[in-house]
Every structure is written in C-alpha cells, then in structure tokens.
C-alpha cells in the first residue's frame, strides 16, 4: 500500500520506553515526506484506542496506524482498529519489552519507516477481554505480578527491559508465589485452586525475551494456554532458565507441573480480586473471559532490511 492511497497515523505513547524515544521517533519521521502523515501523542490510558476509533469512524478509506511504543500501546491501537476493515496496524517499537515483534525476528525489522509505509499487511489473531484486546499475551499470577512491578521501575536507566522484568520477577517471587482461581478452557474445567502462573498467548515472548509460548502461531485461531501449578522458590530458580529459552514444555522437570492446551476461549474465576496483564497493562477483577478473534487484524509487516544489527 503506497502513501498515495492511505492516510498514515503515528501514535506515540510518551510513557513507554526510554525518555529518548520521542527524539528517535522525530528522526525516523524525517525520512517521510512532510504532510504525508499525522503524529498523535497520547495523553492517558485509552487515548490511543479512542483516537484510532474516531479516525476510522470519520474516514471510510484506507487508514494505517503505527503504534509508537511497546506492546501495551500496540494492544491499545489494535483495540481501536477492531471492527474496521479499512484499518491496518503497524508498530514502531520503542517500549520497555517490544515482545510481539520478536515473533518476526525482532524490532530491527520495524524501525525503518519508509519500509513501513510501503509494506504489505498480514492477518493476525487478537485476544479479547471485555472491551479490550491483547495482541501478544494475557498473563495471570507470577507473570502478571512481575509485569506490574516492572511498570514502576522501567524508566530507571539501569533497569532496561530484561533487567526490569527480572526485578519484577524477583519482587513477585518474594511476594506472590500463589494465585487462587478456577480455569475453564473451551468448556473443560482445567484447574481449581492455587497456581503459580498462567499465560494465554498469540505471540511467543513476554518480559523482554522470556519465551512463554514457544509453540504459538499468531494466525491459527488458537491461544496457547499454559498454567504452572505451585512450585517452590528453589524449583523456580532451577527452572527459570528453561522457561526463558522456551524449553519448558518438554522439560521433564516441569511437565508434572504444567497444564497445556490450545484453546479458543478461557474463563478465569476467583472469589478475590485478580490482577490480569494484557500486553503489559494491568486490569483487575474476579471474572475474566478471554477469547480468540481469528485473523481479526491486518498487521503491517515490512520486508527485512539490509541492516539487521539492532538488538531484538
């Protein structure tokens, strides 16, 4: 799709990533022709979704929205675009984790905006929780608590995405090794009681590079569901390396503790408030329904460029 037949909207979240992100985005935008795009800077949570929805309602022609932030910003933009077939969504990754783009090899593929505006789009799945969408992962328990802790430290220079998530994991390990809930997947009662952590994923990575869903495909109409039953802190320390590399599903040390499925719907229930993490953003409640929306979004996927030295 060329610039002549599309309107390009870059949506920048100043709360995502490092404080230098805006300057880097301005430099990247200078590669585009003046007047060929609109830059929108979000002011609060939900602003990205509202902006995208308003533009789609006002314009029936082709529209492209580029989430300039992390996975949370991308999820918000996808939420706003849902239901509008004229909308395509891309990402200029500058967040603290940038985990969704690791599915496609890392963030380097998405940094050249000239390639972005000329690239084709592909259909991808979304996950829906109430009125919100997640494009990468939905987490509960230890992983959600780690993400919640990371939010408070991600702007410290010495806590980059990986270090920040490790800090979050350490905080969660100290405070939150058990979460009580009931889990139903595609109508089957899968779990009742305490668990360590739960992930539902269309992407493969969380926390800046932990491969929570190594078998996931983001366009197959299914979520990867993995629940880990309670284990000791010592066991967790011994097994975290396998989890980070995405080797945990066949690992005989972990297999007795894992419930694994590929599902279209999941229901989570508890008699206490739970913290659910959607692409790094935290919501609370006692009941959640997570369902897959097959190929519900057109995702802009640039070709590989010549310079792929940027770290993923």
Give me the pLDDT at residue 164, please: 55
Q: Are β-strands 7-12 and 63-69 bridged in parallel, bridged antiparallel, or unpaired? A: parallel
Give me the pLDDT at residue 146, please: 78
In sequence order, what are the residues at sequence separation of 6 or more whose Cβ sits closer than 8 angstroms to the Cβ of residue 75? 132, 133, 134, 135, 136, 278, 279, 280, 281
Helix-strand-coil percent breakdown of the chain, rounded to 5?
30, 35, 35
Give me the pLDDT at residue 3, please: 38
pTM for this model (two decimals): 0.88
Was domain 3-129+295-300 assigned CATH 2.30.42.10? Answer: no
- Would you list the domain boundaries of the chain? 3-129+295-300, 137-292
Note down pLDDT in tens along the chain; length 312 residues.
333 445 899 999 998 867 789 999 999 999 999 889 999 999 999 999 999 999 999 999 999 999 999 999 999 999 999 999 999 999 999 987 899 999 999 999 999 999 999 999 999 999 999 999 999 999 999 888 877 666 544 544 554 455 555 666 666 666 678 999 999 999 999 999 999 999 999 999 998 888 999 999 999 999 999 999 999 999 988 998 999 999 999 999 999 999 999 999 999 999 999 999 999 899 999 999 999 999 999 999 998 754 433 434
Give me the pLDDT at residue 16, please: 81
Taking the C-alpha atoms of residue 266 and residue 190, their distance in angstroms, rounded to an integer, is: 10
Maximal C-alpha separation, the chain: 58
Tokens describing residue 103: 């599915």
Instruction: Yes or no: say if 274 and 176 are a contact pair by the CB < 8 Å rule.
Output: no
**Two domains, one topology: 3-129+295-300 and 137-292:** no
Q: Are β-strands 223-228 and 210-211 bridged in parallel, bridged antiparallel, or unpaired? A: unpaired
Q: Where are the beta strands (DSSP E) in the chain?
A: 7-12, 37-41, 63-69, 87-93, 121-129, 132-134, 137-141, 179-185, 188-195, 197-201, 205-206, 210-211, 223-228, 258-263, 265-278, 281-300
Choose the CATH number for 137-292 among 1.25.40.10, 2.60.200.40, 3.10.20.310, 3.40.1390.10: 2.60.200.40
- Residue 141's DSSP bridge partners are 197
- Residue 201's DSSP bridge partners are 137, 224
Give me the pLDDT at residue 92, please: 98
pLDDT in tens, 66-114: 999 999 999 999 999 999 999 999 999 998 789 999 999 999 999 999 9
């Amino acid at each position: 799709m060329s610039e002549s037949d599309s309107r390009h909207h870059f949506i920048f979240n100043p709360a995502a990533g490092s404080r230098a992100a805006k300057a880097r985005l301005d430099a990247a935008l200078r590669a585009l022709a003046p007047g060929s795009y609109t830059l929108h800077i979000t002011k609060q949570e939900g602003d990205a979704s509202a902006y995208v929805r308003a533009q789609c309602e006002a314009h029936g022609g082709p529209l492209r929205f580029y989430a300039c932030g992390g996975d949370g910003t991308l999820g918000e933009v996808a939420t706003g675009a849902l239901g509008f077939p004229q909308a395509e969504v891309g990402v200029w990754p500058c967040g603290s984790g940038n985990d969704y783009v690791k599915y496609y090899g890392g963030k380097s593929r998405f940094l050249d905006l000239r390639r972005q505006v000329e690239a084709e789009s592909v259909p991808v799945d979304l996950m829906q929780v109430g009125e919100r969408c997640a494009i990468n992962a939905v987490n509960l328990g230890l992983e959600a608590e780690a993400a919640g802790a990371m939010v408070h430290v991600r702007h410290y220079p010495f806590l980059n995405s990986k270090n920040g998530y490790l800090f979050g994991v350490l905080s969660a390990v100290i405070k939150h090794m058990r979460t009580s809930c009931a889990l139903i997947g595609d109508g089957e009662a899968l779990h009742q009681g305490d668990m360590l952590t739960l992930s539902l994923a269309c992407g493969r990575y969380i926390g800046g590079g932990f491969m929570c869903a190594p078998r996931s495909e983001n366009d197959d109409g299914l979520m990867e569901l993995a629940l880990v039953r309670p284990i000791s802190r010592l066991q967790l320390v011994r097994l975290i390396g396998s989890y980070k590399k995405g080797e945990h599903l066949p690992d005989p040390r972990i297999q007795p503790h894992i419930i694994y499925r590929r599902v279209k719907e999941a229901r989570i229930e508890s008699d206490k408030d739970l913290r659910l993490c959607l692409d790094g953003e935290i919501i609370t409640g006692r009941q959640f329904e997570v369902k897959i929306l097959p190929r519900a979004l057109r995702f802009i996927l640039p070709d590989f460029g010549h310079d792929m030295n940027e770290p993923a």
